[in-house]
Chain A
């Protein structure tokens, strides 16, 4: 293997293809997932403020609205949302360490795997609690 600049994939118009940033595997995927989870959370946030605003209309309407969240399909959606929030939060801390910690760039790769590890450790108790709430009746 010869070391050297990686060839930049380009579109037919000659622009760099698609996703802009191309770091190493861990850096690239962390960056992609950070963007995807971020957009997902933002869209949910808009809906979530609107559904919560129903408390201002009447207790009945709010309970009816929040009732639509209490089935297993929405329950799995909530699990996905929490998964997205936890990754975004943990990877956000990693981004700050890369930016502000003097050794951050050197350890960005092990930190990416630490994010994955902590994410699993936090998801397991949450899923046990949440899935038993959804399916336990």
Chain B
């Protein structure tokens, strides 16, 4: 049975059973955590908040046995312990729901949920019937009717998320770490999830809840711990906090200091004009971007923002509709055509899409510019070196030399190297997905200023981000996507997290307040 966590009285604020003390962790080029302490008690939801790069995911991975801390110790019911592998963490009842999905595509939903704890009959063979029944029982708790016998490869993003959650419920979980569990869920699914969390609490499990959505944090958590730049800002009872207070703690300074003052574009001839675009999940997409304008796209995961960015770069087949750059209609069926049309893409996964990690900073920066740097088939070594150096200087990429392998740079500097690839020959339109994912706060501010500088130089910028504060702080306009189309548009100055989320979740029920509005 799923909720067989040790029965305890619902003792809120009982003594923490798991504590990490003075944890520090470094990676090449970056200090991810410095002297952080954190604990969780039975029957408690402890929220962990912080911006991208604050150290949340590192802390989480230390608590689940993926990383070892450089300094500090882990205490389990007062005893120092080591968690050397995910397996050791699991043995203590620590479950983690990763943000990036970890399902096994070729296995069924039931197998995924009960992986490594498959029910067996008395001959030690797997009892498929029992397995499917148990999985169905767990899924029923989440009020979803995903079939346990479906291969995981056939699930939608939201269903994958639910199966991930179901995995963590399958066994005596004492501690469940949820990393952005609601990122792909709609309002109703979020409600179901919260129902499950309440029941887990009652059963005595401790829950660490990580979310960008502060309304949810305020709604579900008992305590909030704020991290910033790898350091602990503080732990507070949720009841003592308001949303603006959390934001101030997270950011540590006024928003105005982080984001440059907005300069509205003066040109009124659109640089990019998209009309009636249809492709894959996208339909009826029409919008414009002016030269010098920064336009943000918000929405839940899986609502089409990704596909939109991809189709502008020739990665999604476009069914119908037109894309015009600087007044001329362009056909974009491959990245090469997109680049020729003056469009560049900075993807949300720089290690997969952006950089050839074995190669040097110089070689990476030169890569999209080889046609320009080549004379008669031969690469001009001097031109290449100077282009690379120019980018290293202009974008302040901190690297010992242009010959350094990009693998050894910090996340922020890698991200700047990706921008540098495109800035050798500046494009008309820069499409950026998650501009600051996995980047520390210093680099984050630099990147914001760079983006802002590019816009001032007349480039159009399209940003897709899951960080609403980032969109609100940076963009001139914010378009919200829901179910493959643009559901609303907000001027950057008027957008609030609430107003965006309301459209994004496709509901008129604001989560935090619970009051109902009808349109």
A joins B in a complex: no
Which residues of B are at the interface with A, using a C-beta cutoff of 8 A?
none
Which residues of A are at the interface with B, using a C-beta cutoff of 8 A?
none
